Structure 1
Amino acid sequence: MEYNVVEKFASINGEGAKTGQLAVFIRFAGCNLSCSYCDTKWANEADVKAEKMSAQDIHEYIQSTGISNVTLTGGEPLNQYGIMELLQRLAEDSSIDVEIETNGSIDIEPFLNISPRRPSFTLDYKLGSSGMESYMDIENLTCVSKRDAVKFVVGSFDDIDRAKDVIEEYELDKKTRVYFSPVFGEIDPVEIVEYMKSHYMNGVSLQLQLHKFIWDSDKRGV
């Protein structure tokens, strides 16, 4: 089995529970969604240049970096044909901790029984400004645990209102990590903080894309 890998690099986690920690990234080509604010559209183009890598190739590259945090991203990792083979191989390596960034449209339940250590999921819930909310697999919100996270990328107050409704309906703040992530340059983080304060949003974290503050916001491989 070979996978189409458009980037592999070591950097720091720019988002989530391990923000600021070293991580090795594997970015796959192709996505089944097309979000209005996507900052990796280039990775989804049909003619994007990709390296063919087997599960063994990817695992050996990860090991060569000496970094324990692994982030599989895209594109959409769970949309890769044969991805279970790679995930099972990585799960058997006790020296690494695997996180999957997934767009929320693909059922994560089949991957929850991977052993001996399943990956964690950072699950997007696409809101109105993305143009993709109708594609969300809502059942995913019943599967997440404290090991996982749900991320709401917000570009407007309508987005934040909708995210609040979803958080409350599925009690996400009680069973998983929840993040608000502003669309870069579209909404002032101060406004999100004020909203969180006025609505008593305990259990929700504001996150900024750290890598976009360290490097140029369009820079790849970071």
Structure 2
Amino acid sequence: MSSLKLAESFVSINGEGQQAGALALFLRFTGCNLKCDWCDTAWANEKGAPFELASISRLTGIARDAIEKYDLHCVTLTGGEPLLQEGIDELILALTKLGLRVEIETNGSVDIRPFMEKCRPVFTVDYKLPSSRMERHMFTDNIPLLKEWDTLKFVCGSRQDLYRAAEVIEEYKPLCTVLLSPVFGRIEPAEIVEFMKEKRLGKARLQLQLHKLIWSPDERGV
């Protein structure tokens, strides 16, 4: 049975996405194939980052405990880049069998099709914009695969990012929920709202990271 590199597990509210504000179990895994300029979880991505080598049974045990203690219905697999973990498809299936809504937060560079075969989770797929310096790694074939229960997220750090997000939305016309989220401290949410009005982005939503408004932006485990 596979073991995955678990950096941390905790219960909090979903800070973003379609389930924003709802309690969820978070399973964060180490390692990422990208290095975004504004990454807020770089500590989990660096070589030598601390982790527990956790089996599927160990992880489902954490999930059972969270369900019993908090009566929650959502689990978010995040990172790093969780889709790089060997055995993540087994974990998705096991968590789904517990009755949980399994959401994957993925950076947009990994083909999601192999993770739809055994048991399809809910995907929150990033599109990395110019300020991230990682846009060249985007696997855009993912976008047409996203359904109404999935999310395409643009993390925006500049005016240039906003224009690029509008271009991608116009080109692919995604059927899923589309979120525009500010890089904390780099761009004001009000500027994004005015841009949405200017570009007639009526199907997109502004998304603020609730956990950074409730707790310190650098706080872990929230």
User: What's 1:212 paired with?
Assistant: 212
Q: What stretches of structure 2 of length at least 5 have no aligned partner?
A: none
User: What's 2:109 paired with?
Assistant: 105
User: What's 1:145 paired with?
Assistant: 147
Q: CA deviation at 1:168?
A: 0.9
**Contact residue 63 and residue 95 of structure 2 kept, 8 A:** no
Please tell me the residue identity of whatever aligns with 1:201: L
Deviations along 1:175-199, one digit per CA (max 9) or x if unpaired, are: 1000000000000100100011111
User: What's 2:176 paired with?
Assistant: 176
Where 1:38 maps in the other structure, the secondary structure is coil
Where 2:161 maps in the other structure, the secondary structure is helix
User: What's 1:126 paired with?
Assistant: 128
2:18 aligned with 1:17, yes or no?
yes
2:70 aligned with 1:53, yes or no?
no
Kindly report the root-mean-square deviation, in angstroms, between the aligned alpha carbons of the 2 structures: 0.9
Q: CA deviation at 1:91?
A: 2.5
The worse-fitting range, judged by mean Cα deviation, of 43-52 and 202-211 is 43-52
User: What's 1:83 paired with?
Assistant: 88
Deviations along 1:103-145, one digit per CA (max 9) or x if unpaired, are: 0000001112333xx2100000001000000000010111111
- Tell me, in whole angstroms, the C-alpha distance in 2 between the residues paired with 1:199 and 1:46: 41
Work out the percentage of aligned pairs sharing the same amino acid. Answer: 51
**Contact residue 91 and residue 114 of structure 1 kept, 8 A:** no
Where 2:202 maps in the other structure, the secondary structure is coil
Please tell me the residue identity of whatever aligns with 2:139: D
- Tell me, in whole angstroms, the C-alpha distance in 1 between the residues paired with 2:118 and 2:123: 13
- Tell me, in whole angstroms, the C-alpha distance in 1 between the residues paired with 2:197 and 2:166: 13
- Tell me, in whole angstroms, the C-alpha distance in 1 between the residues paired with 2:221 and 2:158: 28
Deviations along 1:157-178, one digit per CA (max 9) or x if unpaired, are: 1111010010011111xx1000
Segments ≥4 residues shifted beyond 6 Å: none
- Tell me, in whole angstroms, the C-alpha distance in 2 between the residues paired with 1:207 and 1:142: 22
Q: CA deviation at 1:92?
A: 2.3
**Contact residue 101 and residue 123 of structure 1 kept, 8 A:** yes
TM-score, length-normalised on structure 2?
0.96
